[in-house]
Structure 1
Amino acid sequence: MVTIKLGMLHYVIDHVYGAFMHRTKITQPFFSRGWGGHNLELLERIVKQLFPLEVQGQNWPPPLVRPVWKTVWETKTATLREGVFQTPCCHELAAALPPESRTARVAWLVPKNVPPQKMACVVHLAGTGDHTYDRRLRLGGPLVKQNIATMVLESPFYGQRRPFLQRGARLLCVSDLLLLGRATIEESRSLIHWLDTEEGFGKMGVCGLSMGGVHASMVGSLHPTPVATLPFLSPHSAVVAFCEGILKYGTAWEALREELAAEKITMTLDEVRERMRNVLSLTDVTRFPIPKNPDAVIFVAATDDGYIPKHSVLELQKAWPGSEVRWVTGGHVSSFLLHNGEFRRAIVDGLDRLEWKESW
């Protein structure tokens, strides 16, 4: 009889799930339409501008969004609303977004009968393939009892914002990944600014799982005032996910190579992968500023994650002295299913490490 250690079992589950999702012909691979041409050049330029502009404080405040709300349901203790607003991205970015993605959508679960200045609100960002509000509302729902509101942003390219030709979460071009990330950052920052200046919440936070955790790290890094920053099962860069982790098996490397060949650029597949590393290095969060309150940064990582290696989590912790890493036993898939309690505990603890707004 062969005995498989529990940690190895979690790792195997990740790879079995990954093989089913990414090595079969059931769905098209990521980036089946190539690099993205002009959009990729535009986004590389705009993302490179991000760092000096933000460090110098020249890109604040963001455009103030004013969502139009409708009530979905309410009880004696909480209200769920859904809202829409036009993406606050600059004209160049908004024009690069597919028409379906230019209207942003949010769900907002708020405790009743509590003044905003005595509440916290956490913006929850989507992981890869999270097209609906449901999972993130389930994560944040129990926190209503602790006067913590949950705002769930629907990502560009997902849900009702998904382009007509895209199937599921399989982005058509590499540029779509950068565009999704930059638009998510801009929309999240505008929402947090709205919660602060218009609604008067006493504390704010941002969290996300996997890809959503990368975006949460970026938002927390760039915000000019302290926010709780809570990345779950998250790498320090998209390079890890698409060039090292299981998603590399679901990437259309041959299509990317063929597009370069059409441009008279001859590359081996290894050279194509290296070019992908260079492009996705723009998403390396270790290049971003240290958040204003690194004590309120809590990473939750899995011990046997087949998608996110341990070194990636530790690289970001090292870049942000004062931040904390908490380990849960499991893989990427099993932790996503089994450790919501640990994620909630990190949200509560991160918020507790912030002072209430009046004393900032």
Structure 2
Amino acid sequence: MVSGNLGSLHYILDHVYAAFVHRTKLSTPFFSRGWGGNKLDLLETMIQQLFPDLGKIQKIPPTSIQPRWRTVWETKSSCLREGTFQTPCDEQLMNALPPESHTARVAFLFPKSVPPQKMACVVHLAGTGDHTFDRRLRLGGPLLKQNIATMVLESPFYGKRRPILQRGSKLLCVSDLLLLGRSTIEESRSLLHWLETEFGFGKTGVCGLSMGGVHAAMVGSLHPRPLAILPFLSPHSAAVAFCEGILKHATAWEALREDAAGQKTSVTLEQVRERMRSVLSLTDVTRFPIPRNPQAAIFVAATDDGYIPKHSVLELQKAWPGSEVRWVIGGHVSSFILHNDVFRKAITDSLDRLEWREPSSMMKD
């Protein structure tokens, strides 16, 4: 067990990091341009209408994609490719997304000279602030020795997909957060479908850290085939992160109040916070279907996480019978830095809980 003082130190580190990154004038806060107007209304309606049909979505094959690949480097034992494809979102979502986010970008690191049916691949989704492929490739790289490939998706609103007016990771509107999540889910499901049907991987999975872990859980819930599901340092809902955790100090509450006051007089900050909780309840993964194989879901959580309270992790574990939580000693920031080996072990253990599939075809160059 960790001593109380050391535990507090990890928690304090989260707050010190957040004070520097989120509470200085170095960057704008989240949602500085308000709720998103008609876009938010559209997304709320779309998502609310989807909830009764999520079980049906779980049974429907994802949209097929055909990424265009280029080889970045290649050795005798492995290869790194980068690819692009048009986001498979429907017309309404495409119109709501910024033009910069219409083209998805992925990196694909895989072992060579191994039959696809004897390989696994995990799709790694971005946490808040992860704009490049590098960190997730470093996490997945050592797994090549165990015949586990890594697919890294660049999130909408991030990296080369970032809107021109957005600075860093700070999304301009609340609607952007819902758009990011919806499009990430669709793109991830299509990538997994491609890995399973075009490349012929025998096992597949999805993982992500923090925000990426929430999306990984959603993808795992909705994918029609059993997956390894690996949410790392993740809440069960974005409402927890922005209304309970440290990110509440990085949110432009006054701008949101002023935006709401333009449509309704005498809006209080408490009413704004309640509105945020209501909107972000749409990201509550406990409202999603139980995955095809919940025993292959492993959550890794930190004992002293200033961003993600413990109860949030346990809520999703309770909703998915047979899933597992593994605790690491640390906070959000320190665990992100120090516990990559624990994350990798969770990936291999989760994949071991899946049956091998027969491939339908090999990858087409």
Identify the TM-score tier after normalising by the shorter chain. over 0.9
The residue identity in structure 2 corresponding to 1:148 is I
Secondary structure of the corresponding residue to residue 124 of structure 1: strand
Q: Is the 8 A contact 1:53 1:59 kept in 2?
A: no
The residue identity in structure 1 corresponding to 2:177 is L
Distance 1:53 1:38, change over 3 A: same
Question: Paired residue for 1:159?
Answer: 159
Work out whether 1:102 is the aligned partner of 2:114. no
C-alpha RMSD of the superposition: 1.3
Question: Paired residue for 2:320?
Answer: 320
Q: Is the 8 A contact 2:214 2:231 kept in 1?
A: yes
Q: Distance in 2 between matches of 1:53 and 1:83?
A: 32
Work out whether 1:38 is the aligned partner of 2:38. yes
The residue identity in structure 2 corresponding to 1:111 is P
The residue identity in structure 2 corresponding to 1:268 is T
The residue identity in structure 2 corresponding to 1:32 is S
Segments of structure 1 that go 5 or more residues without pairing to the other structure are none
Secondary structure of the corresponding residue to residue 24 of structure 1: coil
CA offset at residue 67 of structure 1? 0.4
Q: Distance in 1 between matches of 2:143 and 2:43?
A: 37
Deviations 1:98-129 (A, max 9, x none): 00000000000010101111100000000000
Q: Percent identity?
A: 76
Q: Distance in 2 between matches of 1:104 and 1:58?
A: 23
Question: Paired residue for 2:233?
Answer: 233
Question: Paired residue for 1:142?
Answer: 142
Q: Distance in 1 between matches of 2:45 and 2:67?
A: 30
Q: Is the 8 A contact 1:229 1:297 kept in 2?
A: yes
The residue identity in structure 2 corresponding to 1:181 is G
Normalised TM-score (structure 1): 0.97
Q: Distance in 1 between matches of 2:296 and 2:39?
A: 35
Q: Which moved more, 1:168-177 or 1:53-62?
A: 53-62
CA offset at residue 259 of structure 1? 0.8
CA offset at residue 59 of structure 1? 7.0
Q: Distance in 2 between matches of 1:252 and 1:151?
A: 34
Q: Is the 8 A contact 2:58 2:222 kept in 1?
A: no
Q: Is the 8 A contact 1:242 1:251 kept in 2?
A: yes
Q: Distance in 2 between matches of 1:216 and 1:156?
A: 15
Work out whether 1:309 is the aligned partner of 2:309. yes
Work out whether 1:204 is the aligned partner of 2:204. yes
Secondary structure of the corresponding residue to residue 56 of structure 1: helix
Question: Paired residue for 1:247?
Answer: 247
Question: Paired residue for 1:117?
Answer: 117
Secondary structure of the corresponding residue to residue 82 of structure 2: strand
Deviations 1:76-116 (A, max 9, x none): 11100000000000000011000000000000001010111
Q: What does residue range 1-360 of structure 1 map to in structure 2 within 5 Å?
A: 5-57=5-57, 60-358=60-358
Distance 1:265 1:201, change over 3 A: farther
Q: Which moved more, 1:276-285 or 1:43-52?
A: 43-52
Q: Is the 8 A contact 1:81 1:109 kept in 2?
A: yes
Q: Distance in 2 between matches of 1:282 and 1:112?
A: 41
Segments of structure 2 that go 5 or more residues without pairing to the other structure are 360-365
Q: Distance in 2 between matches of 1:24 and 1:4?
A: 29
Deviations 1:236-295 (A, max 9, x none): 000010000000001000000001111134311011000000000000001011111011
Q: Is the 8 A contact 1:260 1:266 kept in 2?
A: no
Q: Distance in 1 between matches of 2:194 and 2:30?
A: 34
Normalised TM-score (structure 2): 0.96
Q: Distance in 1 between matches of 2:114 and 2:49?
A: 41
The residue identity in structure 2 corresponding to 1:214 is V
